[in-house]
Structures are given as structure tokens and as C-alpha cells.
Structure 1
Amino acid sequence: MADHRDNWVPVSRNNPCPDRKVVWCGRVSDGALRTNDGGQFLHRLNDDPFTRNPPLPVYKIPSTQAKSPTQDWPALAERFANRAEEHRHRLSRQLGVSATALAALGVGWNIERFCWTFPERDASGQIIGIATRRRDGSKIRMKGGRTGLTYAADWDAGDGPILLVEGGSDTAALLTIGLSTVGRPSNCGGVDHLVGLLSGVDRNREIIVIGERDEKPDGKWPGRDGAVRTAKRLAEELERPIAWALPPDNAKDARGWLNAMPDLLADRLADLFLSGLETTVINPPIVIHPPKANGAVVDVGDWRDQMLQVRLRSLGCPGVYIDASTTGAGKSHVDHAVILRAMGREEAA
């Protein structure tokens, strides 16, 4: 009996399938009449899925979804802060800070995400973003906002030093004991905002960047190194001395120090914190500002002629003469001309 495969013709790229025939295909399963034991699929050529249903061209449909509008951060922060007194008291007990300090910072409660909210501000006081703190202590910033500083409206009240701590909870800790405090968003962050905020501070008032004792096993110390870098940048930008220090009594941070202290009056705690700081002062680099022009503009050639005449009149007149001309005005050129003329006079004599 003849094998049923005797009527099948092998095909290839050079010997394609004849028209209106059936084929066994080892690749395409869609539309197959049946499958054999070898895993091949039976197709009728004119029923081939590639000829019967040719693929349609794919076009990228432009998105019609409008971009989300810019968030009104002040309004959002106010909504979170409203009716959040109970949640602030709960956080104050958890952190060991006063609820009054948290209220001064505008701390609120996001009922949708079950987290506390800390508004972050720019140098003008405008709220530009919101940081959040979950009940397990983890922190994250709300999307769409910008990183800013954490501070109360009266951050510069009083005449004591201004302390720049790291984070909202440390800010609340020092506010609890009545110290002038501004919270940085991270160990090195917020310097541009700080420059604007601190530019009007009396130059006799001390500014201290407070770091953290968070040394790592590999020797890295982000809290300390960030405080040093921040102090250096502020000293350069503000052109004034800036100090840095670590929390007293080997505490990890300002809140850790406060939590370890006995129940004393706020004034006494403030004195203990400040007296325990071992500050290192970073002086700004020397910057020479050129004098501002205070007269009419004079052509450099005319200016050199004037200098020459003044120098000639000074000959034989003992005294101290100061020439405050800027670099490039021609002082050396005039000196040379005066010397030549003086030598000529001596030869003539």
C-alpha cells in the first residue's frame, strides 16, 4: 500500500508552494486545519492566514490626554494642615517634640495616604513642595513638587545663632526649645534657597550648620561631610564666616539629643544645646571687589596723559602718592615716560 506522503511535494525558498494546494508548515499555527504527529500544521494555501488576513498597518495615535496642571502646593498644604491637630499631637508623642512646633511648621495629615505632611519652602517663604512621613518613619516627597526648606514664619526671631539642621523632625526638635532653626532637605541640599533666605541676616549673628553622627562602617560620614560642604558653600556665597558642628553629647542628631535629655524648661535645654556645640568656623575666601566708577568716563589715552602730568609735578616733592588706577590703565607706561624725562632734565643740567 502506498504511503500517503508520496503525494506531498517538499518546498523551499527557491521552490515555493504551488497555487491552490495544501501544505504542512512547521512554523505557522494560526488557521491550521489540523496538526500531525511531527508538530506540523496543515494549511490550505488560499486559506493561509497571511494571505487571508494581511496585517494592517500600525499607526501611532497621538495622545490626547492633557498634561496634569501644576499643583497648587500652598492650597494643598493648607488642606492637609486643617483639622490635623489630633494627628500633630500623635506625631509629637512619636517624635518627642511639641505639637506647637509642628503646627508652626505647617505639618498636616494626608488622609488618603495615611501620612504626615511637611511643607517645603523657597527663600521667599512660598511652599514649593511637600515631604511626607509615614507611620513607620519612612519618608518620601510628593511627586511634582520641588525640594525646599522647612521653617516657621518666625524662623529668625530672637538674637541667638541660626541653626541649620537636617530634616523636618530635627527642625521641630529645636523649635520645641525655642531656637532659631531652618531645616535643610538633605545633608547637602537646599543651599541655593539658604543663600537667599540668609542673605539679609545681620553679619554679627552666628550661623551654624548642624550635621549628624551617621558614620558608616566603610568610613563614610554623610551627615558630617554634608554639613562641612554646606558651610563652605554658604561662606563663599554669603561672603561671611559660617560655622558647623555636630550635636552635643555624642547624640546622633538634634531630635535624638532632645529625646535623651531630662524634662527641663525649654530655656535651660536651649542653653545646654548651644553650650555643648563644638563649632568649627569656615571663613570665606578673600574676594577683592573693584571700586565702582564714581566719575565721568575718560578715554585711556587722556587718562595716561593726566597721569603723566601729575607724576611730573610730583618730582622733587617728597611725600606718599597712591595711584588707584585699575589694571591696564597704563601706570607702568607712565612711570617709564617719567623716568626718561627726568633723566633728560638731569643730562641737560
Structure 2
Amino acid sequence: MSLPIWSPVDALPGAYGAPLACGRLRARPEDFLVEEQLGFAPDGEGDHLLLRVRKTGANTEWTARRLARIAGVPVSAVGYAGLKDRHAVALQWFSIPRPRDGTPDWSILAEEGIEVLESHPHRRKLKRGALAGNRFQILVRDLDPETIPGLDERLAAIRVRGIPNFFGEQRFGHDHSNLVRAHALFAGSPGRVPRHQSGLWLSAARSQIFNEVLAERVRRGDWDRPIEGDCLQLAGSNSYFLAETIDAATIARGEAMDVHPTGPLWGKGELPSRGSVRQLEDAVGIRFPTWCEGLAAFGLAQERRSLRLPVADLGAQRVDGGLRLTFSLPAGAYATTVLREIVDANETAAIRATPQTP
């Protein structure tokens, strides 16, 4: 069973034309700073501790293992809301069961690039996805920001319209390995794999189909405005409704970013969209028949994801030899999707080729 042809992330269309300049991303870990926004306060009591951790040059699972070792608990008892890349400075939240014998000495982790900045009692283990969003500060080096044509205009357009909500390349693994393995899974030939691993591959397949649908909407020019047959998502919610007709009020809500067009996260059941939207989504699905059938067979339900990503607090600071971008994104969004609409920021080969073993 041959692999379908898919569009790699770097070949996806931009909503605003070509990037305005070329630069280098993550030349140093401190060039890429991400800070988790929990969206809730620690309880102040309970059987767990919420730890606010600054990690440099360390991935999330590796950090969780180090925290578990110092706390004397199984790594499965450590909670975290999301995965953060190794090649960055991340301010991230973890939870551990509250120690009975006093607070562990976290300072011994400093030489491994891990600092525990805060510790708060909490009632529950921190669950995956329990984030309001992330705040980013990203320095793109090796460019002259004073000579970037149209930078202020591009930033202004993004503040008003947002950007296409593509899944980033991290979703698909090195050389799209998660998609290759998903295809093998659907073909019944991956061998015995842990459930969490197969879930990663299934998510990658769903994400690629979504990216293909969104790419077509970007090419058509209607990725950021409601059209008849769209399933419109309410801002700040996973809820959506079918827009069988579009009136002036719906158009105004779209322009105000109160509702967003959505695309499919494929699974069992019928697509809820209608009209030309449904035709487009069906046409993309036909290109990935094994994946669509496999996702349904594995029991995933039809879900929707916003095609448009609002970019909050977007700012740019011109610095010597580079451009520092700051912005906030909701949980589940990718900072690289913002960058690609502004600059072509390539990572070094060394960074791409040095995974960290948990």
C-alpha cells in the first residue's frame, strides 16, 4: 500500500505572500523563550505540588524524569500540561505528589539546566492540555531588520486578521516519520507499539489532513471568513455551529474574531459541513482514503479545529543583527506558524539532528 502524497509544512501557502526576509532560528536556546500560561491559580492546598520550572536545553520528558528522581516518585506521577522543545528556554509547570518529608532540594538540578522557581500546594495532578496558552519571545538572527520591506504592514495585517492555523512540523516528526508510521499502522504492519505512541501517529495523520484542507482554503482566499456550509467555532471555545446561510451579522462576527471557520479533524461519522465547504473537505479526504478509514476504525470521532489563529500582543523589536518577535497564542497553536508568515527562519542542522533521550 503506497504512501499518499502530502504537502510538507514548508510547502504550505502563506496567507500574506512570501516571507519578508530570511534569518536563523534558535541559534542559541535563549533565542527561543516560551512561557506557559496556566489560566488558573494554584489551589494553595492539596496532595500535590505545582512547580514552575525554568528549563534550558532540556526537553519536557527528560525534565520530568529528573524531577521524579529528586522527589523519589515514579515518573508516571509527574504531571505536565504540554511538551516543550529542548532547544529553547521554557518556563513550564509540572506537578508532583506532595512529599511527606519536606521539600526536596531542587538546587542540584541547576547544573542540568533545570531551576524550580515556584512551588505551590495543589489538589490535582496537572493534566495534559491544561493550559490557557503560551507567551513567546523569539529572536531571529542573521538579518537586518532595518531593511525588511513592509514589516510594519505585515504585522498590522496579522493583528487584524490572524494567520492560518496550520499544525507545525513538530507534529509530524523528523522526516515526517509520524506520518510514515501512521500509514503502517493503518496497513496493519507496525508491530506491537505502546498506546501513547500509536496515538501520536494517529494525531499526525489527522493533522496532515487538516493542513491539506486549510491549504486549499488559503489558496481560495476564504480561510478567515465564514462562507455558507461552514462550521463556525465560537472564539475561546471548542463549540461550533453550522452556518447554512451567511448574513451581515455573521460576517461582522467573523471580522471581529468572534467566530472562526473550521476544518476537519477526521474520524468516524459524517462531516458536519455542507455546500462547497463539504465538497472541498470530501475532495481532500479522497486523497487519503486509507487514513480516513483508519482513523474511523481506531474510534476517533469527527472533530473540528479553527482554520484561523488569532495572534495576541504581537510586537517586533529591531535589535542588532536580528528581529525579536513577541506574541501570545492559545494552547494547541504553533509559534512557527506565526514566524512563517513574517520571515523564513531556518533552524541549524545541528539542532534538527540532536534529539534528547528522555
> TM bucket by the smaller chain?
under 0.3
Structure 2 length as normaliser, TM-score? 0.20
- Decide which structure has the larger Cα Rg and report it: 1
Structure 1 length as normaliser, TM-score? 0.20
Highest relative contact order (Cα 8 Å, sep 6+), 1 or 2? 2
